[in-house]
Amino acid sequence: MSRKPTLADVASLANVSVATASKALNNTDRVSAATQREVMAAAEQLGYHKASAAHNRHKRSGLIGLITSDYNGRFALPLLTGAENTLGASNHAALLMSSHGRPALEKSHIDRLAAHGVDGLIVVGNTTNSRPPLDPRTTMGLPVIYAYDPSRDPNDCSIICDNIGAGAQAIEYLLSIGRRYIAVIAGPEDFQAAKDRVLGAQRTFILYDFRPVAVLFDAWSEEWGERAAKLLVEQHPHLDAIYCLSDEIARGAARGLASIGKRVPQDVAIIGHDNWFVFASNAHPTLTTFDNNITMLGKTAAKFILDALTGRPHHGLTTIECPMIVRESTEARRHTALESTGRVYERNIQ
Amino acid sequence: MSRKPTLADVASLANVSVATASKALNNTDRVSAATQREVMAAAEQLGYHKASAAHNRHKRSGLIGLITSDYNGRFALPLLTGAENTLGASNHAALLMSSHGRPALEKSHIDRLAAHGVDGLIVVGNTTNSRPPLDPRTTMGLPVIYAYDPSRDPNDCSIICDNIGAGAQAIEYLLSIGRRYIAVIAGPEDFQAAKDRVLGAQRTFILYDFRPVAVLFDAWSEEWGERAAKLLVEQHPHLDAIYCLSDEIARGAARGLASIGKRVPQDVAIIGHDNWFVFASNAHPTLTTFDNNITMLGKTAAKFILDALTGRPHHGLTTIECPMIVRESTEARRHTALESTGRVYERNIQ
C-alpha cells in the first residue's frame, strides 16, 4: 500500500482493537506484555511510526510532565508557571513531579507519566551543572527538554540561563559607571553558574584591558559575602565595586561593607545575582541584580515541546538572557548615562 | 440478588464493556455523554456505588493530584515532598498542577486530573485563609483534602498549621525565660495566620495574668519589622521581647533594634515564624522561630487520602503542630532551664 500505515492497520494486523494497539504503542501498563510485543511487531512490519501519528492531535493527552529535582520550589514553580502559560494557549497543561535529584525516583516518575499518556517531558534541574541524559528506554520516544541543568548529550535539547552573558554584562556596566577596582565574590567553584559568570566577567575585563582586583570562590551564603567583602577592603582599600554571584552573597557583602564604614553604592557598588525577591528587594540598599528569567525558561521549554510534537524538534543548547535589574546598590552615579542604555529599571517591584 | 453489585453488572445492564462502564463512572472524557448517562442510570438502578469498588486497588491509577495556588513554591514543594514520601510507601505518586489562585484554572486542572484517573485530590493554599469548597460536580466523588488553607465547609477534610498553639507557646516561652515586657508585631490583620497567632498569644497572656506591651498589625515585611521595633522601644523603653509573626518581620526588627543600640537577645529577645531558612538561619543573630511543618502537612494529607481510598474518610479540621526552633535570638539567658524543657534545639541547620 502506498499510503502511510495507520494505527488501525497495526491493530488489524495484530488482531487487537485500535484502543489496545494505541495503549501498547504508548507503553501504558494496561496491556499484557505479550499483546505489547505483538503490536510492536505489527507496527514494525508495517513501518508504522508513532511520529507519523504526531499530527493526530486528538490522540494526545494534552499533558506535559515536568520532573524537578528542586527541593524548595525556587526554580520549579516559576518554571511551571511559564510552561503553563505557553501550554495553556494550545490547550495543553503541565503536571509536576518531584524527583529530589534521585535518578531511580526520576525514572519511576517518568514511567508513571508515560503510562498516563503525557505527550512530552521537561526535566528541571537546580544546580546549573550538566546531568546525564535520560535513558531512551525510559523516555520511549517522548520529546524531552532539559531545563536549567543541561543534558551532557549535546544533541539533546537543553535550555539554560545565559550566565556567561550576565557576567560579561555585569562588568561592562560597572566599568560604564566609572568603577575601576572591581572584585568578584563567587559561590562554590564546582557550580557551572559560578564558572560561567566568572568566565563572562573575565571576557569583559580582557576586552577592556582591565584586571579584576580579586576573584574569590567559596559558598552561596551571606556569611561568605560578609567575610569576603571585609577581606577585600582590607587588602584593596581602593576597591569600588563588587560583582557578587548571588543575592545572598551580595546582601552579606553590603552588611560587611556597612560594618567597616563603607557606603553602598557611593564607595563600593554591588551587583547580585538571581533577583531573589526576599533578598534583592528587601535589602538596604536594594540590590542591582540579574533575573534568571526562569519563567521565560519555562515558556521556551513548553514552546520547544510543542514544536517537537508538531514534527519540528529542537536540538542542542539554547540560552535565555538574564536581564539586569538596576536598583540602589549601583545607581548613585551617572544615573543619566545609564538611563540612555535601555536597561531594565525597577524601583518598586512587587 | 444479595451480593453487592459489581462493575460488570453495571456494564451488562448498560450494554457496554466493563472498560467503558469504568470510564463513564470515572467521568473521563473518553466516552460519549449518552453512554455516560446510560451507565450512570444502570449504576443507580443496581445501587452500585464507586465506593463499593474502593478496594479494587488494581483499578486505581495510583496517582494523587495536588493543585496549588502558591506562586513561588515555598509551600507547594515541601508539601509535595511530604505527600510523595507517604504515597511512595504505598506505591502511589503525586502530580502537582498550579492554579495561581484562579478558580477557573483550578476547575480546569481538576477536570484534567480526573479525566486522567487520579484517585484523589490535595488542594494546597498559601494564605492560611479559609476558601470556598470545590464544587462536587468538579470533584465527582474523588476524595479531596484541603491543605494550609481550610475549606469553609466544616464537613470537608482540612489540614492546617496550629497557629493558635504556636502563638500560645511563643509567649509561654518568653515568660519562661524571664521576659515581662512583650510586644507582638503581626502581619496584615486579614490573614487567618496573623489572627490565630495573636489569639494564641493572648490566651497565654490571660492565663498568666500578663498584658502585652502592644500588638501591632501591618505587613509581612522586613521594613515593617524594622519600623515597628523602633517605634516600640521609643514608646516602651522597658520592652524586653518581641514575638514577630514572620521571619521577615523578625529580621527587620533585629535590624531596627541594632540601629538604636539594643542587643538581641540580651536586651530584647526576638521570636520569628516560618523557619524560612534564608531568613532564620542567615540572620544575625540567628532566629528562634516556628517551623510550619509543611512536610508533615503533606504527609498527613497523603495519609488521609489513602485512608479515604480504603473507606475511612476523615472530616473536619486537623491541625499540625509547629515546633519551635530555639536559636540565638532568644537563648542568651536561662539556658540551663530551657534545656530541660525538651524543646527543639538546632544550631547548625542545613
- Using one digit for the tens of pLDDT, what is the confidence trace for B160-206? 999 999 999 999 999 999 999 999 999 999 999 999 999 999 999 99
Mean of the per-residue pLDDT values of chain B: 86
Residue that wins the pLDDT comparison between B54 and B240: B240
Residue that wins the pLDDT comparison between B14 and B242: B242
> Which CATH number belongs to the domain containing residue B124 in this structure?
3.40.50.2300
How close B206 gets to chain A, by Cα (Å)? 35
pLDDT computed for residue B7 by the predictor: 78
Paired sense of beta strands A289-290 and A324-326, if any = antiparallel
Query: Whole-angstrom Cα distance, residue A266 to residue B1?
Result: 88
Q: Quick one: how far is CA A125 from the chain centroid?
A: 7
Rg (CA), chain B: 25
Highest mean pLDDT among A88-97, A226-235, B50-59: A226-235
Helix (H) or strand (E) holding B214: strand B214-217
Residue that wins the pLDDT comparison between A268 and A57: A268
Does B173 lie in the same domain as B73? no
Which of A63, A68, A98, A276 is best to mutate for the B interface (most B CBs within 10 A)? A98
Q: What confidence category does residue A193 fall into, taking pLDDT thresholds of 50, 70 and 90?
A: very high
Tell me, yes or no, whether A2 lies in a domain.
no
Does B242 lie in the same domain as B186? yes
**Contact in structure between B297 and B83 (CB atoms under 8 Å):** no
Does A69 lie in the same domain as A31? no
* Out of A74, A93, A94, closest to residue B73 by CB: A74
What is this model's ipTM? 0.71
Does B253 lie in the same domain as B170? yes
Does B172 lie in the same domain as B146? no
* Out of B70, B97, B117, closest to residue A94 by CB: B97
Running DSSP on this structure, what letter comes out for residue B135?
P
Query: Residue B144 CB: number of other CB atoms within 10 A?
Result: 25
Query: Can you read off the three cell numbers belonging to residue B195?
Result: 489572627
**Contact in structure between B99 and B69 (CB atoms under 8 Å):** yes
Residue type for position A206: I
pLDDT computed for residue A59 by the predictor: 66
Does A195 lie in the same domain as A117? no
pLDDT higher than threshold 60 for residue A78: yes
In degrees rounded to 5, what are phi and psi of residue B271? -120, 135
Tell me, yes or no, whether A70 lies in a domain.
yes
Query: Whole-angstrom Cα distance, residue B302 to residue B305?
Result: 5
Q: What confidence category does residue B59 fall into, taking pLDDT thresholds of 50, 70 and 90?
A: low
Query: Residue A13 CB: number of other CB atoms within 10 A?
Result: 18
pLDDT computed for residue B334 by the predictor: 43
Contacts of A62 in chain B (CB under 8 A): 112
Give the A-side interface with B, CB within 8 Å: 61-63, 68, 70-74, 76-78, 80-81, 84, 93-98, 100, 105, 108-109, 112, 116-117, 221-223, 248, 255, 276-279, 282, 284
* Out of B73, B88, B278, closest to residue A248 by CB: B278
pLDDT tens-place string over residues A216-265: 999 999 999 999 999 999 999 999 999 999 999 999 999 999 999 999 99
pLDDT computed for residue B96 by the predictor: 93
pLDDT higher than threshold 60 for residue B103: yes
* HSE-CB of A231 using CA atoms within 13 angstroms: 15
Report the SS3 class of residue B318. strand
**Contact in structure between B13 and B38 (CB atoms under 8 Å):** no
Q: Which of A171, A208, A334 is nearest to A265 (CA)?
A: A334
**Contact in structure between A43 and A98 (CB atoms under 8 Å):** no
Residue type for position A312: R
Does A172 lie in the same domain as A75? no
**Contact in structure between A163 and A152 (CB atoms under 8 Å):** no
How close B277 gets to chain A, by Cα (Å)? 10
Asked if B80 and A98 come within 8 Å (Cβ–Cβ), the reply is yes
Tell me, yes or no, whether B81 lies in a domain.
yes
pLDDT higher than threshold 50 for residue B255: yes
Does A97 lie in the same domain as A155? yes
Q: What confidence category does residue A208 fall into, taking pLDDT thresholds of 50, 70 and 90?
A: very high
Does A156 lie in the same domain as A168? no
Query: Can you read off the three cell numbers belonging to residue B133?
Result: 469548597
pLDDT computed for residue B338 by the predictor: 39
Tell me, yes or no, whether B132 lies in a domain.
yes
Tell me, yes or no, whether B350 lies in a domain.
no
Grid coordinates 465506593 are at which residue?
Answer: B51
Using CA atoms of B170, B175, B178, B183 in order, give the dihedral in degrees to the nearest 10. 70
> How many Cβ pairs within 8 Å bridge chains A and B?
97
pLDDT higher than threshold 60 for residue A333: no
Peptide bond into A285 cis (omega under 30): yes
pLDDT computed for residue B28 by the predictor: 55
**Contact in structure between B293 and B161 (CB atoms under 8 Å):** yes
Contacts of A277 in chain B (CB under 8 A): 72
Contacts of B221 in chain A (CB under 8 A): 282
pLDDT computed for residue B36 by the predictor: 76
> Which CATH number belongs to the domain containing residue A49 in this structure?
1.10.260
pLDDT higher than threshold 50 for residue B1: no
Q: What confidence category does residue A56 fall into, taking pLDDT thresholds of 50, 70 and 90?
A: very low
Residue that wins the pLDDT comparison between A348 and A252: A252
- Taking residues A260-277, report their average pLDDT: 94
Rg (CA), chain A: 25
Report the SS3 class of residue A104. helix
How close B337 gets to chain A, by Cα (Å)? 31
Query: Whole-angstrom Cα distance, residue B251 to residue B273?
Result: 11
Q: What confidence category does residue A326 fall into, taking pLDDT thresholds of 50, 70 and 90?
A: very high
A315-345 burial code (b ≥16 CB/10 A, e <16): eeebbbebbbbbbbbbbeeeeeebeeeeeee
Cα nearest neighbour of A118 on chain B: B116
Q: Which of B81, B191, B154 is nearest to B318 (CA)?
A: B154
How close A171 gets to chain B, by Cα (Å)? 27
In the sheet with A344-345, reading across from the earlier edge strand, the strands are A289-290, A324-326, A344-345
Does A179 lie in the same domain as A287? yes
pLDDT higher than threshold 50 for residue A55: no
pLDDT computed for residue A9 by the predictor: 82
In degrees rounded to 5, what are phi and psi of residue A34? -65, -50
Does A245 lie in the same domain as A281? yes
Tell me, yes or no, whether A38 lies in a domain.
yes
Cα nearest neighbour of A252 on chain B: B282
* Out of B63, B81, B98, closest to residue A98 by CB: B81
Q: Which of A325, A270, A243 is nearest to A292 (CA)?
A: A325
Query: Whole-angstrom Cα distance, residue A232 to residue A27?
Result: 59
Tell me, yes or no, whether B212 lies in a domain.
yes
- Taking residues B136-140, report their average pLDDT: 87
A246 in the Ramachandran plot: left (φ > 0), alpha (ψ -120 to 50) or beta?
Answer: beta
Cα nearest neighbour of B115 on chain A: A61
Contacts of A246 in chain B (CB under 8 A): none
How close A180 gets to chain B, by Cα (Å)? 31
Running DSSP on this structure, what letter comes out for residue A150?
P
Contacts of A71 in chain B (CB under 8 A): 77-78, 81
**Contact in structure between B41 and B14 (CB atoms under 8 Å):** yes
Query: Residue A78 CB: number of other CB atoms within 10 A?
Result: 21
pLDDT tens-place string over residues B65-83: 999 988 777 888 889 999 9
pLDDT tens-place string over residues A140-185: 889 999 999 999 999 999 999 999 999 999 999 999 999 999 999 9
Using CA atoms of A44, A50, A53, A56 in order, give the dihedral in degrees to the nearest 10. 140
Residue A108: which domain range? 62-162+294-320
**Contact in structure between A231 and A299 (CB atoms under 8 Å):** no
Helix (H) or strand (E) holding B66: strand B63-68
Does A156 lie in the same domain as A77? yes
pLDDT higher than threshold 50 for residue B323: yes
Asked if A100 and B112 come within 8 Å (Cβ–Cβ), the reply is no
What is the number of domains present in chain A? 3
Query: Whole-angstrom Cα distance, residue A211 to residue A68?
Result: 39
Query: Residue B195 CB: number of other CB atoms within 10 A?
Result: 18
**Contact in structure between B279 and B287 (CB atoms under 8 Å):** yes
Tell me, yes or no, whether A225 lies in a domain.
yes
Helix (H) or strand (E) holding B99: none
